[in-house]
Chain A
Amino acid sequence: MKRIASTIWLAVGLALAVAAPWGSVAVAQSGPIKIGVIGPFKLTPGRDIQEAATLAAEEINAAGGVLGRKLELVFTETEQNPEKGKTAVERLLFVDKVDAIIGEHRSEVALAVQPVIMENKKIFLATGTASPLLSENVLKDYNKYKYYFHTFLNSNQMAEHMIKQADDMMATYKKKKVAIVAETAVWVEPIVAAFKKELGDKVVAIERVSTNARDLSVELSKVASSGAEVIVAILAADAGLPFTRQWADRQIPALVTGYTVMAQSDRFWEQTEGRAQGFMTWKHGVRAPISPKTIPYWDAYVKKFGHAPGAYTNFATYDGLYVLADAIKRAGNLDSDNLVKALEATDYVGVSGRIKFSKRHDPEAGAEFVPFTYIEWNKGEMVTVWPPAMKTGDFVPPPWIK
């Protein structure tokens, strides 16, 4: 009798053990598609990742989801720290068991988490990093890194277009000397090297700034004494704020262009107490007719969140989630290898332009793909001033420069 009971229990146990995985697969296939979203959500670039992803997911779910399933976003904070980023990604992969990961704005974090995600054969769609090292990995070791895609431009692409714009600005305003004020970070090096190579003797000063610099009076004094008439600022970190405040306070006689991440924030005017008047920066994502979707998206975003899209991560994340959803639909399932093929075949018109991935899985850049647009702060507003085809207003120099 005892033996029969044991046999019955054993059979029940075996049945449960065998049935459990099938049961969970059934649940997983009918449950939501889980997308991990990583970034420093307390900072403007992270806030924009979070909000843009939320809006895109809501819209996609309202339209019936993907393959009949809802998208579920799992947000995990990286605090701009590579170690914390790795922990965040491991949690997403092994605890939350996400189907793909998007987001992040610091190259150092993305470089740390990229191998972890690749080894687990999941799609990583970076929406704010700029180091070309990330997509170089795709070229170097395709089989391992093919799961990496990027909806933002890399530093080499930035350098090409930044030089074009700086050249155009110098020709228009008859300026001959340029200074580069660039932070010390991995994504900046190719841009500084390209400026040195392309502009040669026109570059009269190169000031490298620590990412946590609070006082830039020395750098600005050196720029002023070099006779530079244009400053190409390349500042992704917090130094962009004291740089702008001190540039205006000291009335440094040089126009500013380049790429200052803090100047892309809708809060920048308030943060500089209006000192940003005449301050220009490249901004990925502006309220301009880049595509038929751009202005409606901008207005819907302002209506939902009460502020304008701020950082460069915004358009890249919104488009990124749509590109991923589009690829899942075309692939018909969540198999990562199938998704890679679908993503490589992407030709999608989003809010930031037409997105097609290059061989290294970066988006193609340029007028017919993702255009390179500059804004200027003028009377509290971000006005698109470059390129001429996209501009919504004219560039007005800061009050102390005639």
Chain B
Amino acid sequence: MFIDIFIFGTIWGAIYTILALGFTLIFGVVRILNLAYGAIYMVASYLIYSLVSSLGLAAVPAWCLAVIASTLFGVVLYVVFVYPMRDSLGRVLIVTAGIAIFLQEVAVLVYSTEPRYVPTVLPGGLVIFDVRVTYQQILTLFAAAALVAILHAILVRTRLGRELRAVAQDTEMASLMGIPVERAYLTAMALSSALAGAAGALVAPFLTVNPEMGWSPLLVAFTIVVLGGLGSLWGTIVAAFIVAYAENLTAFLISPQLRDVATFAIMILTLVFRPHGLFGKGIVE
């Protein structure tokens, strides 16, 4: 059983990492709580479903198109809705929640509430220590690792990344140093939305796609950001795996229905006993 917990905890830890990195980017750099984040993940999953099932596109090009569409959507969302009211956290919260509900209802109208599926890219699987793991899950694990490496390279090695880190560290100082803060915000929003789209692409083939699928990841991403510490890349990764293992332990040892309870418990305990998270209020590094 502990092998099951380790294997499935690791797979979910990888997915949660991608989800939470996108969330922490927008939270750490732009300092807004984007409640439409889960909806972007949902829209990307439906887009892949439509491209593959209705238009007959191959899975990998569909994934890429979904990530590009998510990125563009994130940019439009920022320019049209977030930018005019960025200084008011409350207004951004309400507007993004409204957009999330709007997108969910659109999905209900277009696709109905019946669950949809996205075909798997790699059928079949292999047995690891008596536990059968599908190739799709292994692909998800490697794809998540590759995305983390790419994000790390962008943040550390590119000018855009350095701007993002500077703005995350001290917006005012970065502005005084001539860093284009607005461009950094837009980049953070674009990267964040791309990661939400990528997470949707990774998860859709082995779960089902439905209009409400965006809310649960939002809660998980928020918990991970709280636990890992705002804006900390490595903190986010460690926290994502802690949450994934805690959920799987709870599911195996107590009941799968208490999985979300474990997530809520971590969030509440962190906010009460360690409000700055495990790694403090760090910078993206």
Contact = CB atoms under 8 A, between A and B. Distances in A.
Does B bind A?
yes
A250 B132 contact: yes
Contacts of A242: 115, 207-208
A238 B123 CA distance: 22
A212 B131 CA distance: 25
B117 A210 contact: no
A213 B112 contact: no
B256 A213 contact: yes
Interface string B67-98: 00000000000000000000000000000000
Interface string A197-216: 00000000001111011111
Interface stretch (A26-34, A110-118, A140-148, A218-226): A218-226
B113 interface: yes
A273 interface: yes
A43 B116 CA distance: 11
B8 A218 contact: yes
A216 B1 CA distance: 15
Contacts of A80: 113
A40 B113 CA distance: 9
Interface string B112-140: 11110101100101000001101010000
A221 B4 contact: yes
Interface string B43-77: 00000000000000000000000000000000000
A157 interface: no
Contacts of A44: 114
A56 to B, nearest CB: 24
A212 B257 CA distance: 10
A271 B117 contact: yes
Nearest to B136: A249
A241 B117 contact: yes
Given A184-B257, A241-B208, A249-B206, A222 B252 contact: yes
B132 A241 contact: no
A275 to B, nearest CB: 9
A69 interface: no
Interface in B196-212: 206-208, 210, 212
A221 B113 contact: no
B208 to A, nearest CB: 5
A176 interface: no
Given A219-B256, A241-B115, A214 B1 contact: no
B256 A209 contact: yes
A245 interface: yes
A120 interface: no
A258 B256 CA distance: 21
Given A210-B257, A249-B125, A215 B120 contact: no
B255 interface: yes
Interface string B2-24: 00100010000000000000000
Interface string B169-182: 00000000000000
A359 interface: no
Contacts of B132: 249-251
A358 interface: no
Contacts of A272: 117
Interface in A33-67: 40, 42-44
A221 B253 CA distance: 12
Contacts of B115: 238, 241-242
Interface residues of B, number: 30
B101 to A, nearest CB: 15
Contact of A218 (B108, B136, B207, B252): B252
B155 to A, nearest CB: 31
A273 B8 contact: no
A266 B162 CA distance: 54
A395 to B, nearest CB: 24
A87 interface: no
Nearest to B250: A218
Interface in A232-252: 238, 241-242, 245-246, 249-251
A273 B208 contact: no
A79 interface: yes
B171 to A, nearest CB: 38
Given A249-B206, A273-B120, A207 B112 contact: no
Given A219-B256, A222-B252, A250 B208 contact: no
A208 B207 contact: no
A221 B1 contact: yes
A222 B259 CA distance: 15
B125 A214 contact: no
A215 B259 CA distance: 11
B193 interface: no
B251 interface: yes
Nearest to A217: B8
Contact of A79 (B113, B125, B256): B113
A109 to B, nearest CB: 14
| Listed residue (A79, A184, A245) with the most chain B CB atoms within 10 angstroms of its CB | A245
Contacts of A250: 125, 132, 134
Contact of B119 (A214, A216, A273): A273
Contacts of A271: 117
A242 B210 CA distance: 12
B89 to A, nearest CB: 30
B263 interface: no
Contacts of A273: 117, 119-120, 123
Given A219-B256, A221-B1, A273-B119, A245 B114 contact: no
A-B complex: 7 closest residue pairs judged by Cβ atoms: A42-B112, A218-B251, A221-B4, A238-B115, A250-B132, A214-B207, A218-B256
19 contacts: A42-B112, A43-B112, A43-B114, A208-B255, A209-B256, A209-B257, A212-B212, A213-B256, A214-B210, A215-B207, A216-B256, A217-B8, A218-B8, A218-B259, A219-B256, A221-B252, A238-B208, A241-B117, A242-B115
